[in-house]
Amino acid sequence: MGLVTACPLESKTHHSATWEDEIVPDEQRPEKARTSDTTPGGDKPASSGLIPGTKITEAYARLIARDAYFWAWPMVNVYNRRLAFQQIPEPGRLGGVLPVAPLNRLSMLTDYIKPEERAVACPNQDVVYGGALIALDLSPVVIQVPDFGKRFWVYQIVDLRTDSFADMGAMYGTTPGFYLLAGPNWHGQTPKGITNVFRSKTNSGYVIPRVFKDDTPEDTRAVQSVIGDIDLYPLGEYDGRTKRHDWAKTPDIPQPGAAGGKAETRWVFPDKFVDQLPGVLADAPAQPGEQARYTQVLGVVSAAQNDPALKTAMTDEATKADQDLVGPLLQFRNWGIPLPGHWTTQDNGAVFGIDYFTRTAVGKSNIFVNKPTETKYFYQDLDSAGGRLNGANRYTVTFEKGKLPPVRGFWSLTLYDDEHFFSPNALNRYSIGTKNRAVKLDTNGSLTVYVQAETPGADKEANWLPAPQNADFSLFVRAYWPEPAVTTGKWTPPAAVKQA
């Protein structure tokens, strides 16, 4: 996905004030609504685990902190987005770029997301995005599905863990109508006219509509009529009638402080981790096999709350884990399933379960991915010889005749800078694929994409994917609504070949 700075505002190495520090009252924070003497599942205190008052060593506290920081990182990420977005006054575009709204509300863009976006790494310019931060402990929400006709669409609906809990999109044959998203503790009546109810295992989550459009002004105008019927709102406002918006009229919302920098907005803070972890785990109860892990972590956190030295040690270890464990996962070549031509992929996006490594790797490098049956992702940092992709060189990516990504939706090849965002260029072009009407096939029927900093010549410019001058970059293939050849690994992308 990809969506600009929205909360904890800080540089890569220094942290000052965040939205949470400045304007989020204690009573509005998700964990404040929960009692402190229960287990994450809401039961009475566990009878096993670390006995309160037990003296533990600093080394053990560091061990627990390091491990917990890694596997809880994606959950803390979404948790802090909730803390930020609950301060949004109305649906709009944060910084004129990011679709944001108050909790349990939705905002839509009207065109491709702008290159300035920094809130979510690896945005795409194939779809019109929407965004909603859901807080199902406050209310279930109704989400509207208009008639998209033959236009590709998918709603990504994930919980605090970034696991999908609702299948809605063209690939599912989802019919137009009203659908309900409910939390784990909701026991109300489903109103008449609701087509289906999807229940989350956590109260916090994220909803991201994606609606395909091509790169022509005509299709930009045409898509407005359908996205105007996309909406999300609390159940109490449901009346069986479609709520319509002119999303072009929503306001730009100023950034809460100075934004900027190349990297993704920081959402996880080692210096806040120990204090935030109990609230995060309360929102994401232990999955089967995790109860011992949760009990152990919460026992050590409790001990640290009563021992400043232990808390300081755990915070220090979280800082080290952020740098040593999580940081390297920004680079695609450091994780994933290896494929020919030095590509990598993952097969369990948005259905991570207890695959903590892949969930955090995806969260760091390109959070909010669709399920593989919705979108298959392929990642590339290297050329065919294993050299780092860099704009000082010229490359070609050639799809042989009949070997374009086999999809029922659409496909694209996107270029990102070394922080996984768009690299500004004179063409304002960041991807090539189904959306591009001007691309030219070779005489033999193949498609060659020219990946380089300088123009390949006027006759080839329609197939040019501009690269940054003398800087590292990455390539990224998306196959939306992939055919079985993609999901089973029979089709993989062609290598990026360095030219002399």
With a cut of 80, say whether residue 40 has pLDDT above it.
Answer: no
Beta bridge partners of 169: 154
pLDDT (tens digit, 9 = 90+) per residue, 103-118?
A: 999 999 999 999 999 9
Determine how β-strand 194-199 pairs with β-strand 177-182.
parallel
Give the tokens for residue 300.
Answer: 């050590």
Give the range among 37-46, 310-319, 443-452, 473-482 with minimum mean pLDDT. 37-46
Q: Which residue is listed with tokens 């599942």? A: 41
* Extended strands (E) in 106-242: 107-108, 127-135, 141-145, 153-159, 168-169, 177-182, 194-199, 204-212, 232-234
Cα(164)–Cα(156) distance, integer angstroms: 7
pLDDT (tens digit, 9 = 90+) per residue, 260-277?
A: 579 999 999 999 999 999
Q: What is the pLDDT of residue 17?
A: 38
* Extended strands (E) in 86-165: 92-94, 98-100, 107-108, 127-135, 141-145, 153-159
CA angle 104, 194, 246 (to 5 degrees): 50
Q: Is 56 exposed, middle or buried (0-12, 13-18, 19+ CB in 10 A)?
A: middle
Strand-by-strand arrangement of the 497-498 sheet: 464-466, 447-452, 395-399, 497-498
Give the tokens for residue 97.
Answer: 């770029």
- Looking at residue 424, its amino acid is P
With a cut of 90, say whether residue 460 has pLDDT above it.
Answer: yes
Q: What is the pLDDT of residue 29?
A: 55
Q: Name the DSSP class of 322.
A: I
Quick one: which of 399, 394, 363 has its CA closest to 473? 394
Give the tokens for residue 288.
Answer: 């089967």
Beta bridge partners of 155: 168, 209
Domains and CATH numbers, the chain: 1-11+19-33+56-249+260-319 (2.60.40.1610), 332-498 (2.60.120.600)
Quick one: which of 316, 368, 476 has its CA closest to 77? 368
Cα(131)–Cα(209) distance, integer angstroms: 7
pLDDT (tens digit, 9 = 90+) per residue, 464-477?
A: 999 999 999 999 99
